Amino acid sequence: MERLNIINGNIITPNGIIENRTLLIEGDKISGIESGNPFYKNARILDANGLYVSPGFIDIHTHGAGGHDFMDGTVEAFLGAAEMHARYGTTSLVPTTCAGKIDELKHTLSIFGDAKKQNNHGAQMIGLHLEGPYFSLKQSGAQDPKYIHDPDPAEYEEIVSNYPDIIRWSAAPELKGALEFGRFMTRHGILPSIAHTDAIYEEVAEAFKSGFTHITHLYSCMTGVTRRNALRYAGVIESAYLIDDMTVEIIADGIHLPASLLQLIYKIKGTGRIALVTDSMRAAGMPEGPSILGSLKEGQPVIVEEGVAKMPDRTAFAGSVATADRLVRNMVNMAGVSLTDAVQMMTATPAKICKIFNQTGSIAVGKQADIVIFDENITVNTTIVNGEIIYSK
C-alpha cells in the first residue's frame, strides 16, 4: 500500500491547529499524525514548508466551473468542472442542476454515474442536487421562470425512482403539495431544502417538521419580514434564526452578502449550522465577460464582471463565480472569523449536512485522505483526493 508523508505542516484539526506535524497517509486513508518530521521508510515525502494542512473543502452547491455547467449534459462538463474546483481546494462537491426542460434534466442525471467513474483528476462527486423547478415565481431569481411550477408527484417520484444519486432537492415549502414532497424526499434519504420562496415563519415551521431542515443560499431569493393584510410576519430569513436546528448555506463570495450579514449569520447560527457554498456557475475560474447560466443549448446569457455573474440588464445577480478558497478567505478577512471556524464551515459542517462526516470533512485517523494545503492567504498549494495528489502548484 502506497504511503505518503506530509511533513512540516500546521495541521487544522477539529480541536485546533497543531504545528510542525507529519500527516501519515496509507492508501486512501489517514493513518496517523506524528510530532516533528520522523523518517518513514518507503514513503513518498511531501514537504508542506510550514503551510496549513487542512481537510479538503466540500462544496454542496455548485452548478459548474472552468467553462462547464453540469446542465451541459456531458461527461466532459462534469469532469472539467470537478478539475477546476480541485485547483482551488475542493475535494468533494455536489453537482447542482437548475430549472429547465425535463428531458434535459433527466439526461444530465443519467450521465452522472459515468462521470463519477471517470473522475480521476477532480473533486469527487458525492451526489446530485436538484435546484428547482418547484419554486415561487416571485422569487425565481436567475432561474428561468418558464420552467417553474408546483411540485408534481408523478414527476418527482419518477425521477427519484430512476436516478438514485440524488441527495438534495431544493424547493419552496409554501407551494401546493410541497409538504408531501418534503416527506417523500425524507423517506427516500434525500434532503429537501428551502429555496426561492415566499414562505413565512409558520409555513417554514411546518416544512421543518416535514423534513425541510436546510435553507439554500440564505438571503438570496427568499422573504424577510413581510406584510400580509397589514400584519407583519417573519419570513424565511428570520425562520433560519428562530429554528435552532435549521442548517443554512451562504454564498460568501463577498458580493452576495456584505460583511455585516456574514457576521450576523455567524453570530446567530455558529459554525456547526453554516455551510459555505460557491453556488458557482460555469464562469468560476474563468476570465470575466459574457457567459451562459445553465446549459449551452438552453441556458440564459449573463455577464460576468466585478467578481459576480449578472443578468444582462444588470438588475440582479445571476450566480457566483467563486471558488472555495475565496469563501474561506472572505470569512476570515471580511467577517473576522477564525481560520479554524472558517475551515469547519467549508469541511465538517457540509459533510455533516450530507451525512458523510464519518468518511471525510476532518483530519482524523481512519478518514479519507482528502487534504488541501494552503498558505496564510488561503492560496491553494496542493489538493489531495483519496490519497492521490490531483493538483500541485
Domains, the chain, ranges and CATH?
Answer: 3-54+366-392 (2.30.40.10), 56-353 (3.20.20.140)
Over residues 55-105, the pLDDT tens digits come to 999 999 999 999 999 999 999 999 999 999 999 999 999 999 999 899 999
Higher per-residue pLDDT: 228 or 260: 260
Q: State residue 142's pLDDT score.
A: 83
Whether the pLDDT of residue 300 is over 90: the answer is no
Whether the pLDDT of residue 1 is over 90: the answer is no
- Joined together, the cell numbers standing for residue 114 give 459515468
Whether the pLDDT of residue 40 is over 80: the answer is no
Per-residue confidence at 282, pLDDT binned at 50, 70, 90? very high
Over residues 287-294, mean pLDDT: 94
Over residues 327-361, the pLDDT tens digits come to 999 999 999 999 999 999 999 999 999 999 999 99
- Of all residues in the chain, what percent carry a pLDDT higher than 70? 99
Q: State residue 38's pLDDT score.
A: 67
Per-residue confidence at 39, pLDDT binned at 50, 70, 90? low
Q: State residue 77's pLDDT score.
A: 97
> Can you give the three-state secondary structure of the chain, one letter per residue?
CCEEEEEEEEEEECCEEEEEEEEEEECCEEEEEEECCCCCCCCEEEECCCCEEEECEEEEEECEECCEEHHHCCHHHHHHHHHHHHCCCEEEEEEEECCCCHHHHHHHHHCHHHHHHHCCCCCEECCEEEECCCCCHHHCCCCCHHHCCCCCHHHHHHHHHHCCCEEEEEECCCCCCHHHHHHHHHHCCCEEEECCECCEHHHHHHHHHCCCCEECCCCCCECCCEEECCEEECEHHHHHHHCCCCEEEECCCCCCCCHHHHHHHHHHHCHHHEEECCCECCCCCCCCEEEEECCCCCCEEEEEECCEEECCCCCCEEEECCCHHHHHHHHHHCCCCCHHHHHHHHCHHHHHHCCCCCCCCCCCCCCECCEEEECCCCCEEEEEECCEEEEEC
Over residues 163-221, the pLDDT tens digits come to 999 999 999 999 999 999 999 999 999 999 999 999 999 999 999 999 999 999 999 99
Whether the pLDDT of residue 14 is over 90: the answer is no
Average pLDDT, the chain: 96
Whether the pLDDT of residue 37 is over 80: the answer is no
Q: How many CB atoms lie within 10 A of CB 26?
A: 16
Whether the pLDDT of residue 245 is over 80: the answer is yes
Q: State residue 4's pLDDT score.
A: 94
- CA dist 276 and 89 (Å) reads 13
- Of all residues in the chain, what percent carry a pLDDT higher than 90? 90
Q: State residue 82's pLDDT score.
A: 98
Over residues 363-374, mean pLDDT: 98
Q: State residue 318's pLDDT score.
A: 87
Cα 135 to Cα 66, 125, 199, 226: the distances in Å are 28, 25, 11, 18
